[in-house]
Structure 1
Amino acid sequence: MMRVLVVSAEAGHHPALAEMIGRFGHQVTVAHSGEQALQQAATALPDIVLLDVELPGMDGYETAPRLKSQADGIHLPIIFMTHLNDEQTLLRCLSVGGDDFLATPIEPIMLQAKLRSHFRLRELSRTLVEKNRSLAWHSARVQREHDIVEHILQNALSRNFLDYEHLQTYLSPATSFNGDLCLSASGPLGNLYVFMGDFTGHGLAPATGALPLSQAFFTMVERGVSVAEMAAEFNHRLAQLLPDDMFCAAFIAELSASGERLTYWNGGMPDALVLDQQQRLSKRLPASHMALGILADDDFDSRVTNLRLSAGMSLVLYTDGLIELHNSQQQSLSEQGLIDLLAAQPSLDIDRVVSAIEAFRGDTPQRDDVSLAILRCCATGIKEREPEYEHQGLPFQLQVDLTAAELRELDPVADVVQSLGQFRGIRDHRTTLYLLLAEAYNNALEHGILGLDSSLKEQHEGFERYYQLRQQRLATLEQAEISFQIRYLPQQACLHMNIRNSGSSWSPSVSARQQLATREYGRGLELMERLCDELALSDNGRCLSLVYSLNS
């Protein structure tokens, strides 16, 4: 049943019309003037209006648009009733909001057909308005939830050290929320940590992964943990939290306070670029690990790479969204295109670089999140924090003995450093201790146990061949042993560390060590000598002894 408002000044007309409409099964309300029609419409809420053109006072032309304005956004069909059939009258009826005409005298069949037709339009309009209101409510609710998440993310990232003077960043999300993440924080030893991550997809879902990861990052930086420990902890958390179809490609780096050493872990990210002072490519830092959140703890590889840096070098990090940007000719920027673009700049100014990137992209839509970070590798200038605790008062000794089976499956250094980090006065030194013990362990394993020669790395594709041999020999290893013996002497506030292996002798001469230090490989002993107070090789190179002062 529809509600019909009849507006007619002819006393003999509207009773018959009302009776006719009533026989169709509809509810009828009658008004005799335009003013009365507006009042009746406000209370009766008609579905259709039958309106005379000629009315006392406010005529049909003036009444029609005012009736429409009272309809609360829902289409209100107005059918003009007129005995006039000239073209100007009909056009004017349409121009003021009329939807149809009925010529008087009115034919019942014609009236019923028009009422049904216009009522269907009215119902369609009502449905559309209700759905639009529902969508508007849901949209407002989603926006409110987005605002809450954005507020939480901003608070979570409030400790982000992206305003560090030697770090420039550019992050451009494809949607409201960024699936890329760039974090930076200063460590307790004047060192700088940088994290760049790229979660699967873009938008709100991957952005929520930034919450647990950023909290873990800032907490671990505060404690001065190693890059390897960070990678393992991030992987553990994300593997527990993320669904199976989500992961986070990540690059984690630690720049020493002097700016001369970079320790990094690359899991699934594009090659990081090390540039010289002229913005020319000096070295690529490729991914050698799976992304975070995929592997179980036992399968995850947290081993890091150490790189010695020269004066004036810069580290460039970016997500795949950058090199996959397309221009109007559907050409992607590509890694080589980025290298050429950086080399063409007069300086590594982020604004200049971004302008060049935008010039390449033109008006082509951005399909993925885009992130870029440029870190100038120099002395950080970050003040070293005072130790939070006094040194451990009691002496202790830690002994770890690894057999061939454990050497094949485990990376023990992170566990050893984690154990040491439980003691007062040592936890702030975990990054340096990890570097020392990782280099010592790798020397013992690769040169002592596996008999690998670092000079292999000097050949074409030598690094790849070297690590292939490492994996092959490690897989077939049957009898071998590496032991860690670490003693803490509270009076001297130092650690005495012996790393012994059961392999063949290996003891490079001083001249050989100096020669190795000038190459892209073989810098492990030199690095250890710079980090510790004393270093000595004995038993034909099978035993490496280190002394590390906790006051340094």
Structure 2
Amino acid sequence: MTSDSEQLTLPRCLLVLTDSPSNGLLYEDFFSYKGCLVDCIDSQALQGKRISKSYEFVLVDMELPADELTELLKRTAAALPDLPLLVVNTDADFRCIEQCFRVGVNDYVVKPVNLELLSFKVSQLYGAEQLIKDARHQQHALRHLVYQHQFNQEIAHNVYENMLARFSTPLPYCDVVKVAADEFCGDIFLTGKAPNGNVYLLLADATGHGLAAAIQILPLANIFHAMVAKGCELSLMAVELNQRLHDSGLGDRFVACCLVELSQNARELRVWNGGMPDVLLFDEPGKIVHRFSSQHMALGVLDRKLFSVATERMPIDAGTRLVMFSDGVTEQRNQHGDWFGEQRLLNLLAETGSSLEQRLIGALNEFLGNTDYKDDITVAETDLTQLHKSVENTEHYKQIPQGCVESKIRVSGRMLGEAGLLNTFSQLLKNIYLPEEVRHRAYTVFTELYNNALDHGILRLPSELKDDFDGFVDYLEQRDKRKQALSENDWIEITILVNSARQLLRLSIKDDGDGYSSEGDGNESEAFGRGLMLVKQLCHAVEVTPPGNETTVTVKWEDNE
């Protein structure tokens, strides 16, 4: 025996079908010597016998007519479907050999045969079959992994979408279309309504797309939701979102973001744009009234001291539609290398008669043809006319219970800095069935007076810091530091009187500070202070008691509010 023959990989259990006892003994001795278990069966013993499934190879050496041999091979192949089948026969007729191959024979050897050559053929066939089996097992395992991956992706995607839905408040006048280039979308559009009635919009586009981009965005949704619930200023919201990303340690990962605040009380539209395409304000004929271009770096790039919080403002009645979109729309490229571009987007935005989704998807499909989306796409359109109408048609109570509600609350120490107090006031107004528009006005007034009392009266923070955009971050840092030093000697008293018969709400806020002057409040920087100017616009009466540490306001409403 040669060393090459000893290295052959042979089946452990070999079935030999033969009518020749001498050939059977020859095969048994030879392959047993090679280390195989050999089972020889003749045609008579094969009749009606149930063939074992433990064999790994079948060798057929029967001198039968072609038709009978073919029938035997059919039955054997059916009983042992996945085993290599080799025929040794004296018939060299091409038609006989062809019939054998047609019924599933892997190889055909014409006698006389060299046993060493035969063992080599058996080894080759057996090895090839093992490779096929291994490939099948790997294919099955891969199919299972792909299925498991898709299943996990679907679960993760559903969890992700459900979590985002929890952080956003659907608004009937906001129409949004999102198309993901991957299973997960790296764009998010969130909406929220603060207790004072202000509407907040957030559109963010993370670096890349897919799961890696989605992970960056999810924490922002939580912060946005929490700060909207507290009625925080747009500038403060931008600071917190940026700081969260900057402290995340993601390095080269950042998020382009656009924040919008729609204030019905102040009749104002505020925009902070960091790295996003222009926010477009349209008038009724579809003409662009104003572009809110990006004036800041994307979130997560700069630290708190370098971050800019300047917002751009316009009267809310200046336009009828506000459109926000991610660069994935305009930067789609077709097979010719052409960009979709802003002009195509403007053209479809000017069209009417169909939904935004139908127009956008239709235009993109026509432009891209068979080309896949290269980036995530988001387009959000806010109908400002419907927003105005929704405020005019807010819930009304035909019959408010007659009577009075009067409450006096004294807050001291570190409890002064808890934002939950503001929400408690909002909930109180809701529980006594005041109309929503009145609640929004009262909450805006209460928030402004309370923050004035805390910041200027108790914490003694100079408002001049907020006049300088670069000083706003310093203002926030000093505010946080001084809040930690509050003691029980620092207090604010809140007195609330609601008289439903007289249709008025009287609110008084007093602090133990030195007071502040109401003379210069009207000149406070437009970028930050709403001041007493806004309070006077929303109230029927405003009285500041010298030295300025107590302010009393009266809010009235009519039956048709």
Q: Deviations over 1:255-275 (max 9, x none)?
A: 234795323332322222212
Structure-1 residue corresponding to 2:93: 86
| 1:98 corresponds to | 105
Instruction: Label 1:53 to 1:431 Cα distance change in 2 as closer, same or farther (>3 A).
Output: farther
1:223 partner amino acid? K
Change (3 A) 1:528 1:335: farther
Query: How far apart are 1:376 and its partner, in Å?
Result: 0.7
Among 154, 167, 175, the residue aligned to 1:168: 175
Name the amino acid aligned to 1:95. Answer: R
Corresponding residue for residue 23 of structure 2: 13
Cα distance between partner residues in 1 of 2:382 and 2:287 = 15
Q: Give 5+ residue unaligned stretches, structure 1.
A: 399-414, 441-447, 453-469, 475-485, 509-516, 518-522, 537-542
1:412-471: CA deviations, max 9, x gaps?
Answer: xxx99969858855999799579979xx9xxxxxxx989x9xxxxxxxxxxxxxxxxx88
1:310 aligns with one of 303, 310, 317 = 317
Could you list the runs of 5+ residues in structure 2 that have no partner in the other structure?
A: 1-9, 398-404, 429-438, 453-462, 473-491, 498-505
What is the DSSP-based 3-state SS (H/G/I as helix, E as strand, rest coil) of the residue aligned with 2:277? coil
Contact between 2:201 and 2:261, CA under 8 Å: does it hold in 1? yes
Structure 2: which amino acid aligns with 1:119?
Y
Q: Which amino acid aligns with 1:107?
A: N
Matched, 1:493 2:507: yes
User: In structure 2, how many angstroms separate the alpha carbons of the residues matched to 1:496 and 1:144?
Assistant: 59
Kept in 2, the 8 Å contact 1:34–1:60? The answer is: no
1:115-145 deviations in whole A, cap 9, x for unaligned? 2322331232233233223323332332332
- Give, as a single letter, the amino acid of the residue that structure 2 aligns with 1:393: K
2:86, 2:106 within 8 Å by CA — same for their partners in 1? Answer: yes
Q: Partners of 1:532 and 1:173 in 2: how far apart?
A: 47
Q: Deviations over 1:234-261 (max 9, x none)?
A: 3344445573343332222232347953
What is the distance in 2 between the residues matched to 1:177 and 1:217?
20
Partners of 1:35 and 1:216 in 2: CA distance: 81
Distance of 1:255 and 1:37 partners within structure 2: 89
Q: 1:34 & 1:178 partners in 2: Cα distance?
A: 69
Does the 8 A contact of 2:323 with 2:379 survive in 1?
Answer: yes
Distance 1:5 1:283 in 2: 86
SS in 1 for 2:98: helix
Change in Cα spacing, 1:358 to 1:547, as seen in structure 2 (3 Å) is farther
SS in 1 for 2:390: coil
**2 CA distance for matches of 1:174 and 1:365?**
8
What amino acid does structure 1 have at the position aligned with 2:350?
Answer: A
Look up the equivalent residue of 2:224 and give its one-letter code: F
For 2:5, the equivalent position in structure 1 comes to: none
Aligned with residue 201 of structure 2, among 175, 194, 197? 194
Whole-Å separation in 1 of the counterparts to 2:199 and 2:45:
77
**Would the alpha carbon gap of residues 171 and 7 (structure 1) be closer, same or farther in structure 2, given more than 3 Å must change?**
farther
Residues 308-345 of structure 1 show CA distances to partners (whole Å, capped at 9, x for unaligned) of 23365211122221111112321111234322442355
Letter in structure 2 aligned against 1:30: C
Q: How does 1:228-307 map to 2 (within 5 A)?
A: 228-241=235-248, 243-257=250-264, 260-307=267-314
Output aligned runs, 1:324-339, within 5 Å: 324-339=331-346
Aligned to 1:24: 34
1:44 to 42, 47, 54: 54
Corresponding residue for residue 466 of structure 1: none
Once residues 158 and 296 of structure 2 are traced to their aligned partners in structure 1, the CA distance between those partners, rounded to angstroms, is 33
AA partner of residue 24 (structure 1): K
| SS in structure 2 at match of 1:44 | coil
Shift of 1:152: 1.9
What SS class does the counterpart of residue 198 from structure 1 fall into?
Answer: strand
Seen in structure 2, the aligned counterparts of structure 1 residues 358 and 525 have a Cα distance that, compared at 3 Å, is farther
Please name the residue that 1:462 is paired with.
Answer: none
- Residue deviations 1:464-495, cap 9 Å, x none? xxxxxx88999xxxxxxxxxxx9966574156
Match of 1:137 in 2: 144
Relative to 1, partners in 2 of residues 1:51 and 1:206: Cα closer, same or farther, differing over 3 Å? farther
Q: Which secondary structure state, in structure 1, belongs to the residue aligned with residue 256 of structure 2?
A: strand
Mark the CA change 1:349 to 1:158 in structure 2 (over 3 Å): closer, same or farther: closer
Q: 1:24 to 1:487 in 2, by over 3 A?
A: same
Where 2:375 maps in the other structure, the secondary structure is coil
Does the 8 Å CA contact 1:247/1:293 hold for their aligned counterparts? yes
Aligned with 1:177 (options 174, 184, 193): 184
Provide the residue aligned with 1:379 in structure 2.
388
1:281 Cα offset (Å): 1.9
Q: Is the 8 A contact 2:262 2:316 kept in 1?
A: no
**Alignment partners' CA distance in 2, 1:384 and 1:228:** 30
Work out the CA distance in 1 between the residues paired with 2:470 and 2:48.
91
For residues 226 and 71 of structure 1, the distance between their equivalents in structure 2, rounded to whole angstroms, comes to 77
Aligned residues: 493
Q: What code does the residue aligned with 2:269 have? A: L
**Which structure is larger by alpha-carbon Rg, 1 or 2?**
2
CA contact (8 A) 1:259 1:380 kept: no
Q: What SS does structure 2 have at the residue aligned with 1:231?
A: helix
1:57 to 1:118, Cα distance in 2 relative to 1, 3 A: closer
2:21 partner SS:
coil
1: CA distance between counterparts of 2:49 and 2:42?
A: 11
1:363 to 364, 370, 394: 370
Shift of residue 287 of structure 1?
2.4
CA distance in 2, matches of 1:360, 1:243: 35
The answer to whether the 8 A contact 1:495-1:548 is kept is: no
Identify the residue that residue 127 of structure 1 maps to in structure 2. 134
Relative to structure 1, the CA distance from residue 531 to residue 33 in structure 2 (aligned partners, 3 Å threshold; closer, same or farther) is: farther
Residues 6, 51 of structure 1: 8 Å contact kept: yes
In the TM superposition, what whole-angstrom CA distance separates every residue of 1:292-317 from its partner, at most 9, and x where no partner exists?
A: 34444455444433332336521112
- What letter matches 2:507 in structure 1? A
| Mapped pair 1:226 → 2:226 | no
Change in 2 beyond 3 A, CA 1:29/1:65: same
SS of match in other structure, 2:22: coil
Task: Answer yes or no: is the 8 Å Cα contact 1:494–1:550 preserved in 2.
Answer: no
Query: How has the CA–CA distance of structure 1 residues 473 and 28 changed in structure 2, closer, same or farther, with 3 Å as cutoff?
Result: closer
Cross-structure match for 1:393: 408
Distance 2:103 2:243 in 1: 69
Q: RMSD across aligned C-alpha pairs, in angstroms?
A: 5.4
The match for 2:401 is: none
| Residues 1:45 and 1:272: Cα distance change in structure 2 (over 3 Å) | farther
The one-letter amino acid paired with 1:14 is: G
CA contact (8 A) 2:408 2:495 kept: no
Q: Which amino acid aligns with 2:367?
A: F
Distance 1:105 1:473, change over 3 A: closer
Per-residue deviation, residues 18-51 of structure 1 (Å, max 9, x unmatched): 32222333332334459959977643240x3223
**Counterpart code for 1:13:** N
Counterpart Cα distance in 2 of 1:246 and 1:86: 73
Aligned partners of 1:270 and 1:320 also within 8 Å: yes
- CA distance, structure 1, for counterparts of residue 74 and residue 406 of structure 2: 86
